[in-house]
Amino acid sequence: MDLDGRPIKPLTICMIGAGGFIGSHLCEKLMADTPHKVLALDVYNDKIKHLLEPDSLPWAGRIQFHRINIKQDSRLEGLIKMADLTINLAAICTPADYNTRPLDTIYSNFIDALPVVKYCSENSKRLIHFSTCEVYGKTIGSFLPKDSPLRKDPAYYVLKEDTSPCIFGSIEKQRWSYACAKQLIERLIYAEGAENGLEFTIVRPFNWIGPRMDFIPGIDGPSEGVPRVLACFSNNLLRREPLKLVDGGQSQRTFVYIKDAIEAVLLMIENPDRANGHIFNVGNPNNEVTVRQLAEIMTQVYTKVSGEPALEVPTIDVSSKQFYGEGYDDSDKRIPDMTIINKQLGWNPKTSLWDLLDSTLTYQHRTYADAVKKSMAKPTAS
């Protein structure tokens, strides 16, 4: 039954980006707990292979993988037509890329998303589009004097879907290429809804955390590259290196457990009358910390998980220019207001920061240990 007591009809869902972190967890949930069918679209399927093989799995036949790059594949519209609902998760969403690969970032998050919106609108198909909390940009409070008491007033920093402005840095700060592209596709989707009747829901994730997130360089991802902050810290911990705090780690963030967040998405999928036309923050304001505090907690959790003592010098400070390159900028706080999602869907996150870090670091420690064992077991050339 949905939230209004009506039977939920089995759906066919076209999921673009199904092979990524969020997609893999959403596919797991849909296979395990619902009768829905998934057309899983992605370039890679490593994170959902356990759902595709063998044929004896209880959900065999309800998930089909289609290896597609949506930038250049004529099959996309046909797959959207086959589905009742399209979920678009595809994006470049790694901060290190925003100012070093701004063109790729803009194309991936705006240009490549245009056909998806167009096909959904023209074929009267419902769309759930994943955006980002970065569309809010900088808080109003960040422009106040540092000693202003208003900086502590939630009205100046808590981010609300329907009232908060979206404030970005100057054009030369190319770090905002991602947020700007995401905001523009949101505006396009909203306009399609207003002018052409597109049924849509927009999701703004606030740092979803859990197993399979991002990548550990050289282990489950490329040897080069800089993942997001939590995966960066995980990589440092696994390799027994000091955690790098960009500009002192003073930015404040909130973190939500992936399994809590997936529950919210399932409510959106199965309650269209309550979700259509809405933008939803999905985060956990109770798990608010500075990046420096996050590093300290992660060090404590990893010591528990691994049994290894912490380093004598657990953190080092680096500048944003040194870490990310020219053109980097950042927001001071990202604290979500949860009023709309709580009112419409009755959703609240449950998992504490310590528990979600424990789950994530346990998985990453095991993955890293397995990869090291495999590399040691490889025969060497004589």
Distances (CA, A) of 238 to 186, 208, 305, 365, 373: 37, 21, 11, 7, 14
Closest CA to 211 of 5, 8, 22, 13: 22
Closest to 208 measured CA to CA, from 264, 137, 258? 258
Question: 42 with 18: CB under 8 angstroms?
Answer: yes
DSSP 212-269: T-S--BTTTB-SS----HHHHHHHHHHTT-PEEEEGGG--EEE-EEHHHHHHHHHHHH
Helix and strand tally (H, E) in the chain? 14, 15
Distance CA 214, CA 230 (A): 9
Distances (CA, A) of 25 to 5, 196, 211, 255, 361: 26, 32, 9, 17, 17
For the chain, the distance separating the N- and C-terminal CA atoms, rounded to the nearest angstrom, is 64
* Residue 368 appears among annotated catalytic residues: no
Pairing of strands 85-88, 63-67: unpaired
Q: State the Cα angle at 68 between 127 and 231, rounded to 5°.
A: 80
Cα separation of 192 and 23, whole Å? 25
Residue 270 in tokens: 């199965």
Q: Are 198 and 189 in contact (CB under 8 A)?
A: yes
Give the up-direction half-sphere exposure of residue 263: CA atoms within 13 A in the CB hemisphere.
14
Please tell me which residue in 98, 119, 136, 178 is annotated as part of the active site: 178
* CB-based burial, 319-341: b 16+ in 10 Å, e otherwise: ebeebbeebbbbbebbbbbbebb
Catalytic residues: 178
